[in-house]
Structure 1
Amino acid sequence: MTRKEQILNKALELINEKGFVHVGVREIARELKISPGNLSYHFGKKEDVLMALLERYREANTSLYETYLATPPSLKGFLHLMKSIFESQYLYRGVFIGNQYVQAQLESGDHFNYQEIYERRLAGFARIFKELHTAGHLKLSEEDVRFLVFHMTLAGRFWIYEATLFDKSPDRDSTVKHYLWMLSKQLSLFATETGRQSIGAFTAELE
């Protein structure tokens, strides 16, 4: 593991524990037993660490979507994708929760064209649901597709805020399982018999 990766991992651990505003570069350096100068060689300021974490998070999620899209469409596969996405969001929870700096950066577009990323995610979910319809796992009208797309973007963005409302670090597995169960119930309303069997195969693996 490189020094840069060590810094990012320790920073993420501290941010998840204390929140972004309560973690400074000196504390990160102290936890790693390195000098602040050594840390600043890789990251000039705390905000640079945060941007690097956001980029790492984005790259990880993009890879997850690409892996799913390279396989035949199924609700079981889609739910496995969302399980990995939820686990990734849980891992980076401190980066987003109550972090006004991140919100400002996403809105400004200085580091990320968030509008473009958002539109790409919408198009990606629309493609996924249409392919699940074609594969016989979901029975959807165009209006249903739009509903599921916006449901996914809403739930996918805010579930972690609700999950950590009273506890910054709830048990990962039981928390993710709870929200996957709710997603499975939502999808089952549109599922064909084949789709329900696929959902059942996924939920059986969660037990």
Structure 2
Amino acid sequence: MRNRERVLNLSLALFNQQGIAHVSTLQITTELEISPGNLYYHFRNKEDIAKALVQEFDQAVSRMRSEFSHQVNTLDDYPAFLLSLMTLLAQYRFVLRDLETLVLGEPDLKRCFGHLYNSLKALNQAMFDHLNHLDALSIEKEDQRFLADNSLMIAIGWINQLSMVNNTDEHTLILRQGVSRLVALVQPYLKLT
């Protein structure tokens, strides 16, 4: 694995565990056993690393958006897709948790996060549009927009609970509980068959 990928992988783990404000480039270089110059060859600073990770996250969200209509053919497929989305959010949870640290004073990061947030909103809206297309929902267009926004806020809030636990089994449980909450949010709008 190349040093750039190693830096990104370790930084992602450290940012998720400790928060971006508590991780330094010195810590990253020490743990990777590389020189600071080697890190600076790829990234000028910690913010550049965070920006690259936000862009990775955004690309993954875009891929999920294009895959949703292929992976969800019935309403029964919806919870499994939600679990994969929640898993992705958990993988990059520092972005959602450390938002203020990421965007204050960093216009590039703020722009990247804005793009990511719009991608997440578009994915959520596309999911509900597709469920409507499958004739699984009975909902007005305006209410559907609110439902999409509310489900995104719940998902982001739910992911932040992962910061409270260190156990992988608990992470899985929290993700599954989050999916249950998201499904329950949609429940009143489901068409009875």
Shorter chain as denominator, the TM-score bin is: 0.7 to 0.9
Question: Is residue 2:8 matched to residue 1:12?
Answer: no
Structure with greater helix share of residues: 2
**Structure 1 unpaired stretches of 5+:** 195-207
Residue 137 of structure 2 aligns with which residue?
138
Counterpart CA distance in 2 for 1:11 and 1:131 is 35
Distance 1:110 1:181, change over 3 A: closer
Question: Is the 1:139–1:190 Cα contact (8 Å) retained in structure 2?
Answer: yes
Superposition deviation, residue 98 in structure 1: 3.4
1:191 and 2:190 aligned: yes
Q: 1:175 maps to what in 2?
A: 174
Instruction: Report the aligned-residue RMSD.
Output: 2.7
Equivalence for 1:205: none
Tell me the SS of whatever aligns to 1:76. helix
Could you list the per-position Cα deviations for residues 36-62 of structure 1 after superposition, in whole angstroms to 9, with x for gaps in the alignment?
111111111111101011011111111
Contact kept in structure 1, 2:102 and 2:109, CA below 8 Å: no
Q: Are the equivalent residues in 2 in contact too, given 1:15–1:23 (CA < 8 A)? A: yes
Residues 157 and 67 of structure 1: is their aligned pair in 2 closer, same or farther, counting only changes over 3 Å? same
Unaligned segments of structure 2, at least 5 residues: none
- Residue 154 of structure 2 aligns with which residue? 155
- Shift in CA distance, 40/167, structure 1 to aligned 2, threshold 3 Å: same
Residue 121 of structure 1 deviates from its aligned partner by 4.6
Could you tell me how far 1:148 is from its partner in structure 2?
A: 1.3
Q: Distance in 2 between matches of 1:106 and 1:83?
A: 32
Paired position in structure 2 for 1:97: 97
- 1:104-131 deviation digits (Å, cap 9, x = unpaired): 37877764372x6545554553443233
Indicate conservation of the 8 Å contact 2:68/2:127, yes or no. Answer: no
TM-score by length of 2: 0.84
- Corresponding residue SS for 1:193: coil
Give me the identity figure in percent: 24
Q: What is the aligned partner in structure 2 of residue 112 from structure 1? A: 112
- In 2, are the aligned partners of 1:19 and 1:95 still within 8 Å (CA)? no
Give the distance between the partners of 2:167 and 2:104, measured in 1 at CA.
24
Q: Identify the residue that residue 45 of structure 1 maps to in structure 2.
A: 45
1:89, CA displacement in angstroms? 1.3
Alpha-carbon separation, structure 2, partners of 1:43 and 1:147: 39
What's 1:59 paired with?
Answer: 59
Evaluate the alpha carbon distance shift between residue 124 and residue 96 of structure 1 in structure 2; reply closer, same or farther with a 3 A threshold.
closer
Aligned 8 A contact 1:7 1:28 in 2: yes
